Amino acid sequence: MTDHAHYRSAMMADPHDADPELLAHRESCAECRAFTEQLLRFEARLERALLVDIPTRAAVLPFARSGKTAQGPRRWMAMAASLLLALVTAAGVWLTLPQRGLAAAVVAHMAGEPDAWLRTDVPVPDADLNAVLKDSKLRLKPDAGMVSYASSCEFRGHKVPHLVVQTPSGPVTVMVLVHEAVRNPKHFDEQGYRGTIVPVPGHGSIAVLMRDRESGSGDVERIAARVDDALVWTR
Amino acid sequence: MNDEVGGNQRRARFQALCQSLRPDLLRFAFWLSRDRALAEDVVQESMLRAWKARDSLLDETAAKPWLLTIIRREYARTFERKRFPTVNVDELIANEEPVLAAAEEQNISDVRAALMKLPDEYREPLILQVLMGYSTAEIARELDLSGPAVLTRLHRARRQLRAACGEDLTQDPQE
């Protein structure tokens, strides 16, 4: 039996604790629900506060300043080559990556999983889909569309669900970003992807994106709204 | 010749892995040390140690926690090597003002300032949980603490932060 004090202590230690007894208590207690909402608002601030951007001096890790294996002129040539490579790489990254932080990170993540974009009519088994969604304390209504890809991905320090939903307009990627709060929808059109990141009050945000060649005007926004409706939060 | 090619490939692969994890590792080291320059040094030294100990990483998907552990140890070693003067938190905050004040909103900057003032014993488990996504059991293992001790520290960390940020604590439970 969970009382107010036990519930609130547990929430203070982990506001995302999904223990069934705690959830049951929250459902039955309006005061603790209000307490949790206040706590989760602060937690969202905390999560954003921790995401500091740290400009760095060193360009390449981990060998930027080791220089222990090369000797004499060879060492200097190696260092010069490393520096040149670092400058070229940095310039390349600067010129090619989208500049907005979260959208850029979402787009960059896509490049690592090209297979996710396959058009297919084979749905992910329910058990696999639920396993991916469980950690984020959510489930997906069946009317969201056929999910052909579901993976729990490392994204900016957190495991996040990465789904691909097959729609008449083609495959659509959805990333559920519980740890990334945004105040307003952010639209982006970068690197061959068109997408939007929309706020989900109390639950961070969701990113929805399509490849340019498959998205018509307004498609992404419409699909984002449909996905948002189909998400059922279990906490 | 083949050995050299293989070695270069291995090194490039390791470098790519480090690069991909670098933002998170730097953030972690920054919140540990509360000092950007020290964080960079710690991460740099940790990468070199990691490279030397690369054979102990059996599963590349476990690279991040493996590197975080190395960073924690390297940070502790920094204190063994150098006797730092007593930390003046206000000075730290002033030094790191460009990083702390980079937030768009004042309420985020407030939380960052409060985090800087949080004692190490509370800040560290909180970073591992919120920033790195560690479970209570994983934090306990990393910090060599019991599960209840971790929960107590997390509870106190949040209470202190919320108090520092002017949150209403009247509904908070007593410990």
Q: How far apart are the first and last CA of chain A?
A: 19
A95 CB near a chain B CB, below 8 Å? no
Cα–Cα dist A109/A159, whole Å: 13
The H or E element spanning position A9 is helix A4-13
Q: Could you tell me the residue ranges of all domains in chain B?
A: 1-84
Buried b (16+ CB within 10 A) or exposed e, A195-216: bbbbbbeebbbbbbbbbeeebe
**When comparing pLDDT for B95 and A82, which is higher?**
B95
pLDDT(A106) > 80: yes
A157 to B115: CB separation less than 8 angstroms, yes or no: no
Residues in chain B: 175
d(CA A163, CA A227): 11
Inspect the interface and report whether the beta carbons of B175 and A48 lie closer than 8 Å.
Answer: no
Three-state DSSP at A210 gives strand
Cβ within 8 Å, pair B127-A56: no
**8-state DSSP, B82:** S
pLDDT band for position B82 (cuts 50, 70, 90): low
pLDDT of B11-30, one tens digit each? 778 888 888 888 889 999 99
Task: State which residue of chain B sits closest to A46, comparing Cα positions.
Answer: B111
Tens-digit pLDDT profile for residues A21-77: 999 999 999 999 999 999 999 999 899 889 887 766 554 455 554 444 444 455 556
What pLDDT, on a 0 to 100 scale, did the predictor assign at position B66? 93
Look up the CATH architecture of domain A101-233: 3-Layer(aba) Sandwich (3.40)
Binned at pLDDT 50, 70 and 90, residue B36 comes out as confident
Judged by CB atoms within 8 Å, which residues 15-74 of B form the interface with A?
15, 18-19, 22-24, 26-27, 30-31, 36, 39-40, 43-44, 46-48, 50-51, 64
- For residues A128 and A126, what is the distance between their CA atoms, to the nearest angstrom? 5
pLDDT at residue A185, as a whole number: 79
CATH of B1-84, one of 1.10.1740.10, 1.10.490.10, 2.60.40.1180, 3.50.30.50: 1.10.1740.10
Provide, rounded to the nearest whole percent, the portion of chain A with pLDDT above 90: 15
| ipTM confidence score | 0.85
| Residue A99 predicted with pLDDT over 70 | no
Interface check B95 vs A, CB under 8 A: no
Contact with chain A for residue B122, Cβ under 8 A: no
Q: Is the peptide bond before A62 cis (omega within 30 degrees of 0)?
A: yes
Instruction: Give the pLDDT confidence score for residue A147 in this predicted structure.
Output: 85
Predicted confidence (pLDDT) at residue B67 exceeds the cutoff of 50: yes
Q: Which helix (H) or strand (E) holds B51?
A: helix B36-52
Q: What angle do CA A3, B173, B89 make, to 5 degrees?
A: 150
pLDDT at site B136: 94
Q: CA A222, CA A231: separation in Å to the nearest integer?
A: 15
Q: Which two tokens stand for residue A146?
A: 């056929």
For residue range A164-223, list pLDDT tens digits in order. Answer: 888 777 788 888 888 888 777 787 777 777 888 888 877 888 898 887 666 555 677 777
| DSSP class of A91 | H
